[in-house]
Amino acid sequence: MRQTNRLSDGGRIDRSKPMTFSFNGNQYSGYEGDTLSSALIANGVNVIGRSFKYGRPRGIVAAGADEPNAIVQLGATEATQVPNVRATQQPLFDGLVSQPTSGWPSLKFDLLGFSGQLFGRALPPGFYYKTFMFPQAAWKFYEKHIRKAAGLGRSPTEPDVDEYDHLNQHTDVLIVGAGPAGLSAALTAARSGAHVILADEQAEMGGSLLSSRSRINGAEASQWVADTLQELAGMDNVLLLPNATVNGYHDHNFLTIHERRTDHLGDRAPENQTRQRMHRVRADWVVLATGAHERPLVYANNDLPGCMLASAVSTYIRRYAVIPGHSLVAMTTNDAGYQAAFDWQDAGRNVVALVDTRQAPTGDCVEEARRRGIRLLIGHAVIEAKGSTRVSAARVAPLSEDGQHLTGPAEKLACDTIASSGGWSPAVHLSCHTGGRPVWNDEVIGFVPGESLQRQSIAGAIAGTFDLAGCLEQGTQQGAEAARQAGYEAKPASLPTVEEPATGNAMALFCIPHEQRISRAPKQFVDFQNDVTAAAIELATREGFESIEHVKRYTALGFGTDQGKLGNINGMAIAAKSMNKTIAETGTTIFRPNYTPVTFGAIAGRHCDDLFDPERHTAMHDWHVRHGALFENVGQWKRPWYYPKPGETMQQSLDRECLATRNGVGILDASTLGKIDIQGKDAREFIGRVYTNAWAKLAVGKCRYGLMCGEDGMVFDDGVTSCLGEEHFLMTTTTGGAAHVLEWLELYHQTEWPELEVYMNTVTDHWATMTIAGPDSRKLLAELTDDIDLDKESFKFMDWRQGTVADVPARVFRISFTGELSYEINVPANYGLDVWEALFEKGERYNLTPYGTETMHILRAEKGFIIAGQDTDGSMHPYDLGLDWAVKEDKPYSFIGKRGMKREDCLRQDRKQLVGLKTKDPSIVLPEGAQAVDDPKQPVPMTMLGHVTSSYYSANLGRSIAMGVIRGGHQRSGETVYYPLSDGRVVEAEITSTLFLDPKGERQNV
């Protein structure tokens, strides 16, 4: 298709590199250097979408991040779909496929002339509030359709094929924005030797200079840009980041930059290259040179395609060599708006009129307009656009001096484009992210950043400096200041010479009056993305919303993905006026991260798939994998869950593992248990303070179970601690609690008891731990050691010995979590697999059976051993658990938890207490979490007594077993409770002891 609106020369596109792309199913062509929006304009595409609430056709308004309408869905395949992309920010590439996202039901339907009020009545101002408040059920319906219509696009149904990553940066100076101020700041700071990062959201750096008519050092401004960038690119201490939006400004000068590395290259990123990168930057000093956004003027039907920002018209003509129409009416409140008319005329098309709202404008631009013979309508304004799917005329009328009234009849000027400039709003967004409040400045006619708490300064248009010479000067100053703040000496720099038109004063005008009052006039749009009109804002203030933050929420002003870059200030001005306040009095809403939408991919980086979270492996992990283990996540550890044999169900595997262990010998990889080496003169005293039980007399060579409580008296961890030497202990913790326990011990050592001489270090990973359990475990171990006396009288239950197992130095602990004769063999992890395999070699004749965490859980439950974190939940003290024997109350030091568990509430008799549960029907396994009641016939809500904490089928007992908490349960042994389940069944269970098997503990003492 011919590019009817492409100019034959000029612009910064490369005409030798043509490209094809599609939009809404149609094929078009463009050039390298185009954005999707400039290429669409080149092809005469007027309507990009339909508006969210009123279904009105919408076209391209802006040329950058402030664009509210041209939001498209990108992607040639399902896996490369990207929603919510601004066509104005998307560089064109060959083969780009795009779809409108706000065109529902369809763009074409709309083009046929149906300018339907899809939601107009259904969504009055305050819709969100009114709907959220009542009726609640309707929201689901609305939400579905609003999303579809609101231009948010859709997420892909297939996984993203591209990769994204993060890069941490530390820099002396970060400069945000590479316009005149940012470039001159970067140059000055970099010349001092400081490390500088210069980031700009556009593909090409230079900002406004790329479409400016002003000259620097006697040449085109773009030449100065090229020279400056060349110098910066040659410096080792400078990192230039184009296509990189500084999206978030966080505490202590931490900023995130969203760099689109390959979005300009194609639908997919090239191999071995990440598509987008999130730079996580810590900067010593930040210079915000983010520029300003032009404000459109608010007039009737100002959302018709063909209504554009004046600066966008210039940008399209000068930078992209495309012209968005044939005949232009330009309206402005300031001199900057004149450029659009000049550029339009220079492009050889018709300027119908230049409408200046000021009564007596002065300055070079006014003179030039007269010289060029452009029809100049001074003291006038465009009050209304006419047309159906494109502007066909502008109605222009004379204005009163204050701009608040019309002073004469309107004239209708035929045109297809209306450019407007209401002045410039500094892009204060980033300055708000850490809490800064913008302040109104009458001279600037805009909000400028308020006092900042960060190590930061501002330069250029963000500071309200709109002339080029001023921007360059301020940039140079702030670059030098940044360097100085970062500890470098900036040499005085000479400023470039600038030729730019002298300008007159701008007029503060936001909403153009109409013959009808706001509520009756054709719609005057303020926020295009959310379809917020001037009338809606007026209505909000009439309904009593006085705070600008409330007006924002009530009307949804600035709630779109454009964050109201285009409309916010106009909206605030309208709200202020209707409340008879000044804008300064009304104030502004503030902005939060992110400045523009960020892909989830860039947020996730490489923290996805199998790099999402660390997977911790034991030294025997490879063996478990080779032997078909299924794994359970315990904390970050991968623990064998059970080892199914071919054809087995899970229960069959568990039955086999349980029976083999109780009747022969089983083996468990217990390496994941936390292990803390504790050494020092006061180690014993220290352990006595953090555990509830007695440690004073534990002899070297002995082990003891310990309970750890918080100051509230509640159990949070447990484990066996062994006395390795008079001043040396090895504490074991639960797998998931290891890191927390060590930090807990350090907390008390460092803050409460620094006088205790003790050192604690983790040795969890150093020792590979394998537990052999079962009546044959001694025989098996005997085959692998000749220097440990395994005789039951000399190596007793709860003893440990040092020696050699399978030729490897080992510590062997005769402790048991199954109630069986059991040995925990600890060897240095480098030899763990070798010892494990040696055990299997010798274990063959004993049918040595590997078992996983599930069998371990069943075997320990048969013995009523608790698992901290499963049978406890932070609300149970040792007495609740029936572990009275593990509390020694008469220790000299008031150990942690002692006082807590004596609080009045902890002494109640009706506390939830841990008991055993046997279902009346032994085949039913209670679901964990099921709640007990005394009377299953009681109407809902029933009086709940406590929940099931552990529940299994025990092959050894041939029945189900469970543990759970019951109010006052320790006094209710033998009584029956009922578990009403979600499927309607009620399970009857008897309260029992938690010791289901071998209550005297004979099996472990053989």
Residue with tokens 């938890």: 897
Give the CA distances from residue 494 to residues 184, 437, 502, in Å, rounded to whole numbers and listed in that order: 11, 34, 22
Give the CA distances from residue 913 to residues 232, 373, 699, 772, 871, in Å, rounded to whole numbers and listed in that order: 71, 94, 33, 32, 10
Instruction: Specify whether the CB–CB gap between 761 and 676 falls below 8 A.
Output: yes
Residues near another protein (CB under 8 A), total = 88
Whether residue 754 is preceded by a cis peptide bond, meaning omega within 30 degrees of 0, is: no
Nearer to another protein (CB atom), residue 421 or residue 672: 672
Binding segment toward another protein, per CB under 8 A, in 56-64, 415-423, 573-581, 808-816: 808-816
Least separation in angstroms between residue 965's CB and another protein is 22
Could you say whether residue 686 binds another protein (CB under 8 A)?
A: no
Distance CA 476, CA 478 (A): 6
Alpha-carbon dihedral sign for residues 904, 905, 911, 915: negative
Helices 221-233, 180-191: crossing angle, 10 deg rounding: 30
Q: What is the 3-state secondary structure (H, E, C) of 545-586?
A: CCCHHHHHHHHCCCCCCCCCCCCHHHHHHHHHHHCCCCHHHH
Could you say whether residue 762 binds another protein (CB under 8 A)?
A: yes
Least separation in angstroms between residue 762's CB and another protein is 8
Q: According to CB under 8 A, which residues from 65 to 124 bind another protein?
A: none
Burial 203-226 (b: 16+ CB within 10 A, else e): bbbbbbbbbbbbbbeeebbbebbe
Applying CB under 8 A, among 677, 685, 717, 854 the residue interacting with another protein is 677
Could you say whether residue 489 binds another protein (CB under 8 A)?
A: no
Least separation in angstroms between residue 96's CB and another protein is 24
User: How many other C-beta atoms lie within 10 A of the C-beta of residue 603?
Assistant: 15
Helices 310-320, 338-346: crossing angle, 10 deg rounding: 30
Nearer to another protein (CB atom), residue 591 or residue 637: 637
Could you say whether residue 282 binds another protein (CB under 8 A)?
A: yes
Least separation in angstroms between residue 427's CB and another protein is 23
Nearer to another protein (CB atom), residue 17 or residue 681: 681
Applying CB under 8 A, among 724, 731, 770, 859 the residue interacting with another protein is 724
Least separation in angstroms between residue 745's CB and another protein is 11
Instruction: Specify whether the CB–CB gap between 770 and 825 falls below 8 A.
Output: yes
Nearer to another protein (CB atom), residue 407 or residue 830: 830
Q: Binding mask 815-844 vs another protein (x if CB under 8 A, - otherwise)?
A: -------------xxxxxxx----------
Binding segment toward another protein, per CB under 8 A, in 108-116, 273-281, 457-465, 593-601: 273-281
Could you say whether residue 806 binds another protein (CB under 8 A)?
A: yes
Applying CB under 8 A, among 215, 550, 728, 970 the residue interacting with another protein is 728
Question: Can you read off the two tokens belonging to residue 172?
Answer: 């002396």
Nearer to another protein (CB atom), residue 430 or residue 977: 430
- Which one-letter DSSP state was computed for residue 888? -
Give every CB contact of residue 3 below 8 A, 6+ residues apart in sequence.
Answer: 28, 29, 30, 39, 42, 43, 322
Helices 534-542, 548-555: crossing angle, 10 deg rounding: 120
Could you say whether residue 649 binds another protein (CB under 8 A)?
A: no
Applying CB under 8 A, among 750, 909, 923, 982 the residue interacting with another protein is 750
Least separation in angstroms between residue 177's CB and another protein is 22
Amino acid of residue 555 = T
Nearest to 366 by CA among 382, 380, 378: 378
Give the CA distances from residue 647 to residues 351, 574, 642, 653, 736, in Å, rounded to whole numbers and listed in that order: 83, 74, 14, 10, 32
Applying CB under 8 A, among 158, 251, 489, 935 the residue interacting with another protein is 251
Applying CB under 8 A, among 700, 782, 944, 986 the residue interacting with another protein is 700
Nearer to another protein (CB atom), residue 354 or residue 698: 698
Instruction: Specify whether the CB–CB gap between 688 and 893 falls below 8 A.
Output: yes
Q: According to CB under 8 A, which residues from 771 to 800 bind another protein?
A: 787
Q: According to CB under 8 A, which residues from 394 to 453 bind another protein?
A: 434-435, 453
Q: Binding mask 610-629 vs another protein (x if CB under 8 A, - otherwise)?
A: xx-xxxxxxx-xx-------
Least separation in angstroms between residue 748's CB and another protein is 8
Instruction: Specify whether the CB–CB gap between 282 and 170 falls below 8 A.
Output: yes
Could you say whether residue 241 binds another protein (CB under 8 A)?
A: no
Nearer to another protein (CB atom), residue 487 or residue 1001: 487
Could you say whether residue 17 binds another protein (CB under 8 A)?
A: no
Applying CB under 8 A, among 223, 273, 505, 1005 the residue interacting with another protein is 273
Give every CB contact of residue 839 below 8 A, 6+ residues apart in sequence.
Answer: 667, 770, 772, 780, 784, 806, 848
Nearer to another protein (CB atom), residue 168 or residue 923: 168
Least separation in angstroms between residue 86's CB and another protein is 27
Nearer to another protein (CB atom), residue 272 or residue 923: 272
Whether residue 18 is preceded by a cis peptide bond, meaning omega within 30 degrees of 0, is: no
Binding segment toward another protein, per CB under 8 A, in 6-14, 46-54, 152-160, 754-762: 754-762
Nearer to another protein (CB atom), residue 238 or residue 393: 238
Least separation in angstroms between residue 825's CB and another protein is 13
Least separation in angstroms between residue 250's CB and another protein is 5
Nearer to another protein (CB atom), residue 326 or residue 766: 766
Least separation in angstroms between residue 399's CB and another protein is 45
Instruction: Specify whether the CB–CB gap between 772 and 823 falls below 8 A.
Output: yes
C-alpha 524 chain-centroid distance: 36
Least separation in angstroms between residue 756's CB and another protein is 10
Applying CB under 8 A, among 129, 141, 600, 759 the residue interacting with another protein is 759
Q: According to CB under 8 A, which residues from 893 to 912 bind another protein?
A: 894, 898-900, 903-904
Amino acid of residue 644 = P
Give the CA distances from residue 796 to residues 189, 506, 726, 800, in Å, rounded to whole numbers and listed in that order: 74, 94, 20, 8
C-alpha 90 chain-centroid distance: 23
Applying CB under 8 A, among 357, 764, 777, 994 the residue interacting with another protein is 764
Binding segment toward another protein, per CB under 8 A, in 270-278, 300-308, 492-500, 840-848: 270-278
Instruction: Specify whether the CB–CB gap between 276 and 241 falls below 8 A.
Output: no
Q: According to CB under 8 A, which residues from 137 to 196 bind another protein?
A: 165-170, 195
Nearest to 708 by CA among 898, 907, 916, 889: 898
Nearer to another protein (CB atom), residue 597 or residue 897: 897
Nearer to another protein (CB atom), residue 333 or residue 672: 672
Binding segment toward another protein, per CB under 8 A, in 10-18, 251-259, 295-303, 943-951: 251-259
Torsion angles phi and psi, residue 710, rounded to 5:
-85, 175
Applying CB under 8 A, among 17, 144, 606, 792 the residue interacting with another protein is 606
Region of residue 359 (phi > 0: left; psi between -120 and 50: alpha; otherwise: beta): alpha
Binding segment toward another protein, per CB under 8 A, in 30-38, 219-227, 409-417, 806-814: 806-814
Distance CA 212, CA 324 (A): 18
Applying CB under 8 A, among 648, 727, 873, 990 the residue interacting with another protein is 727
Give the length of the chain. Answer: 1006
C-alpha 880 chain-centroid distance: 41
Instruction: Specify whether the CB–CB gap between 240 and 229 falls below 8 A.
Output: yes
